[in-house]
Amino acid sequence: MAQASQPGQIIILNGAPRSGKSSIAAVIQETFEGVWMNLGVDRFMEMTPARYRPGLGLRPGGERPDLEPLMVALYRAMYDSIAAHSRLGLNVVADVGHHDAYSAPLGILPDCARRLSGLSVLFVGVRCPIEVILERRRTSGWSAGRTIDAPTMKAIETWQRAVHDPGIYDLEVDTSQASPADCAAAIRDYLEHGPAPTAFARLAAMGATAS
């Protein structure tokens, strides 16, 4: 099989649970030209043995310190897979929820950024007000109709604070103001007409400086 002439485009969608990342990824897969592979956190959580879950879905706040040493290896494996797909000419969209609010900081995002060095990566912040996320929890998904108890509410609030730190993005979208199709259109417009993405390069440099 012939080697791909150039690497595929990578889009990383970062936001809290229920912010709308998966819906945007689905639109990208369905409507963007070329082959788009979805290699986000949910896919990798499905592959994780039950006793190590939630794996990459580990919430901020230090809920499972016993699993934290595994997080670095899991994120490296996911991002190395993203890089491998791109270098074979496949486009990749990945919906993630990066944070560093573990019991001790792990510096995962800058490390992941360095693993995609030399590839075209658009880093998109997917924002959504907490009021809208709460309404989505009440009306859709497995938790629809369930009461949001105090621990769950605290986790939701912690996600909102932690997931957009340090907030370095190429593009930001707000899913309370725009539909998944509109968000995907904004991403397409950036790829076609915007400046070259730089967020991951800046994050990689920040991590190198910190280390």
Residue 131 lies in a domain: yes
Instruction: Report the number of distinct structural domains present in the chain.
Output: 1
Query: What do you get for the CA distance between the two ends of the chain, in Å?
Result: 40
Tokens 């360095």 -> residue: 114
Q: What is the reported pTM?
A: 0.93
CB 197 within 8 A of CB 123: yes
**Model confidence pLDDT, tens digit, residues 94-141:** 999 999 999 999 999 999 999 999 999 999 999 999 999 999 988 876
Sign for the CA dihedral angle at 129, 133, 135, 140 comes to positive
**Tens digit of pLDDT per residue, the chain (211 long)?**
445 689 999 999 999 999 999 999 999 999 999 999 999 999 999 999 999 999 999 999 988 999 999 999 999 999 999 999 999 999 999 999 999 999 999 999 999 999 999 999 999 999 999 999 999 988 876 666 677 888 889 889 999 999 999 999 999 999 999 999 999 999 999 999 999 999 999 999 986 644 4
CA distance linking residue 182 with residue 188, whole number of Å: 10
- Name the residue with tokens 């539909």: 179
Contact criterion met (CB below 8 Å) for 56 and 78: yes
CATH number of the domain to which 41 belongs? 3.40.50.300
- Whether residue 186 is contained in a domain is answered as yes
In terms of residue numbers, what domain contains 158? 10-210
